């Protein structure tokens, strides 16, 4: 059985909180976003220190799982920011940051985990709305 499934059976597993809110609390500049305002996923490349610190803060207070900073890191969403060609690079960087933080805080008695984060995009949301009318 995986360590994650065992942890879920043994205790309540706590996930991290709002990545976007925590990014905004750190006041990144438009330059940090490479001029791509509100594209928080680009910060895994331009300001990995911000994302790393957010993961560490959640793990430090006891979260068992940190989510990757990839909520909008789909080709469809990144296309809106002219970053579709960097989709794989952004996702891999986000996973590495989360994984490194989780490993830093893990112990045999208290393993830490990473969950991928993926949100809806405009096209998926519109298709879903049409389907349920």
Which residue range is the domain that position 100 belongs to? 13-131
Helices and strands of the chain, counted as H and E runs: 7, 2
Predicted local confidence at residue 40, as pLDDT: 96
Is residue 8 included in any domain, yes or no?
Answer: no
Residues of the chain with pLDDT under 70: 1, 121-133
* DSSP letters spanning 54-65: HHHHHHHTT-SE
Is residue 4 included in any domain, yes or no?
Answer: no
Is residue 105 included in any domain, yes or no?
Answer: yes
Predicted local confidence at residue 124, as pLDDT: 60
Predicted local confidence at residue 129, as pLDDT: 43
Predicted local confidence at residue 128, as pLDDT: 45
Q: How many domains does the chain have?
A: 1
Predicted local confidence at residue 7, as pLDDT: 92
Is residue 6 included in any domain, yes or no?
Answer: no
To the nearest 5 percent, what fractions of the chain are helix, strand and coil?
A: 55, 5, 40
Q: Are 68 and 117 in contact (CB under 8 A)?
A: yes
Is residue 51 included in any domain, yes or no?
Answer: yes
Q: Are 119 and 72 in contact (CB under 8 A)?
A: yes
Is residue 64 included in any domain, yes or no?
Answer: yes
- And the tokens for 17? 């909180």
In this structure, what CATH number is given to the domain that contains residue 116?
A: 3.20.20.330
Phi, psi values for residue 35, rounded to 5°: 80, 5
Is residue 112 included in any domain, yes or no?
Answer: yes
Predicted local confidence at residue 120, as pLDDT: 78
Predicted local confidence at residue 130, as pLDDT: 42
Is residue 2 included in any domain, yes or no?
Answer: no
- And the tokens for 77? 């969403």
């Amino acid at each position: 059985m995986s360590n994650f499934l065992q942890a879920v059976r043994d205790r309540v597993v706590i996930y991290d909180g709002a990545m976007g809110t925590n990014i905004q609390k750190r006041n990144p500049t438009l330059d940090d976003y490479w001029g791509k305002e509100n594209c928080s996923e680009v910060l895994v490349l331009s300001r990995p220190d911000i994302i790393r610190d957010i993961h560490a803060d959640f793990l430090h207070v006891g979260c068992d799982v940190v989510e990757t900073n990839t909520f909008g890191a789909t080709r469809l969403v990144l296309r809106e920011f002219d970053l579709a060609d960097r989709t794989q690079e952004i996702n891999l960087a986000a996973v590495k940051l989360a994984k490194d933080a989780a490993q830093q805080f893990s112990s045999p008695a208290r393993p830490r985990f990473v969950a991928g984060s993926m949100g809806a995009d405009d096209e998926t949301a519109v298709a879903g709305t049409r389907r349920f009318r």
